[in-house]
Amino acid sequence: MQTIDKAPRLNQPNQPNESTTGSAARKRSLLLTAMDCVVSVVLVLLVLELLFTIAGVGQEEFLKYDPILGCSPMPGKKLTYRSEGFSRSSFNSHGMRDREVSKSKTPGTLRVAMLGDSLTEALQVNRDESFSYLFEQKLNSGAEKPKYEVLNFGVGSYYLPQKYLRLKHLALDFKPDLVIMEMRTGEMLELMPKPLSNLISARPFFLVDGNDKLIESHAYQLQWNGGKEASRMRATAWLREHSALWGVFGIGMQRLLTKPTAFSEMKLQEQEAAQKKAAENHAPIDFKFVAIDPYLKRLTKALILQAKEECRKQNCPMAIMYFTGMRGLQNPEEEAFLEKTAKELGIPFLNMHKPVEQNVHSSKEPLYISHFAPRGHRMVADELMSFVKKTYPDLFSDAAKVSNAKERTKNAL
């Protein structure tokens, strides 16, 4: 009899062999490693996001596409600005660099709406150092209860058509009692079409017909909105609005995708060289502006007239504040034309040419770099206060009384 000392092996097809078990273990190990990497990357990104947010890094991308204005600030967006000067602030729910404010106003409150570009927006200084804020403080100085509100509707890069549209579609909704529209050197030449290169250049423009009637066009916006950069911005809209980390990446992408034309680069280099030379010599910049075409004069006048008409519908007076002489840049033809046009249309005109020239070297503290420094904003607030007391005595009689009483007390001492 044959003896079998080992039990026969049964065929068990469902039992894994050693090679199959080893392969599954390796897959599980790779999966766990991959998950660890993903979790680690996510944690690193969250930590960086937190650190960037606390430090205010990546908070300079704040413009979004706007079908009417071309671009506008993101409502509620927090901002830390370092490109020139330094400031930390935020835009309110209306996309204004201002405190939160309701469109309806308290009875007895008088409002001043400030329209303008980066000079009015004033990202280079903290909000409580801007001339809009300081102007409001001066108006309410000494009063038991604040009566005046100065609202800042300024947006960097805006030119005259956008200022007019922001007035029409936003500022007038706040029922202002006075509108002050800021303009600056080169305002009229900005009306000429520019190459479509980025969101800022995708802006509305106006034409004027033979009867000086305005024709509004959004063709540039529609063209840009169908391009690659617009698609990228739509796809990353939430990140652009909420992520500081994406803000660092987004600005890099914007600079990479934005290719300035050879002409614009050449003009920029010419201006920078002229500014550097003027700064060294403390002299006006010898930069020749091209002559202003008669068509641009007609267009400018039509836009100003239409802005005044929109204000008139709400029984709201309008004034113009014109900045020239900053960085030595002057355009005498434009300055003379705007002042003459304002006079013809019955619009008070505050020309800041002389105040800028008189104050630029009056102190070691700088008046401006490219935009106003804190001392410059204090100067503008003083000029605005004098201007409104003289031009609108009925609107600002209470402020004038307080100001005059303080002045008499000061002189008596």
Buried b (16+ CB within 10 A) or exposed e, 143-154: eeeeebbbbbbb
Number of domains in the chain: 1
Cβ pair 63, 74 in contact under 8 A: yes
* pLDDT score at 33: 86
- Does any domain span residue 53? no
* pLDDT score at 165: 98
**Helix (H) or strand (E) run with residue 163 in it:** helix 160-169
* pLDDT score at 279: 45
- Does any domain span residue 165? yes
- Does any domain span residue 78? yes
- Does any domain span residue 325? yes
What's the rounded Cα separation, in Å, for the pair 132 and 143?
18
**Helix (H) or strand (E) run with residue 250 in it:** helix 244-257
Q: Cα separations (Å) of 203 from 70, 128, 237, 260, 284?
A: 4, 30, 19, 17, 31
- Does any domain span residue 17? no
Residue 333 belongs to what domain range? 60-226+261-412
What's the rounded Cα separation, in Å, for the pair 32 and 23?
14
Q: Which residues of the chain have pLDDT under 50?
A: 260-265, 268, 275, 278-283, 285-286, 402, 404-413
Please name which of 79, 77, 84, 73 lies closest in space to residue 124, comparing C-alpha atoms.
84
* pLDDT score at 26: 80
* pLDDT score at 322: 97
* pLDDT score at 157: 94
Measure the N-to-C terminal CA separation of the chain; round to a whole number of Å: 135
Share of the chain above pLDDT 90, in %: 57
CATH number for the domain that contains residue 301? 3.40.50.1110
Rg of the chain, C-alpha, whole Å: 30
- Does any domain span residue 252? no
- Does any domain span residue 312? yes
DSSP 190: G
The pTM of the full predicted model, rounded to 2 decimals, is 0.82
- Does any domain span residue 108? yes
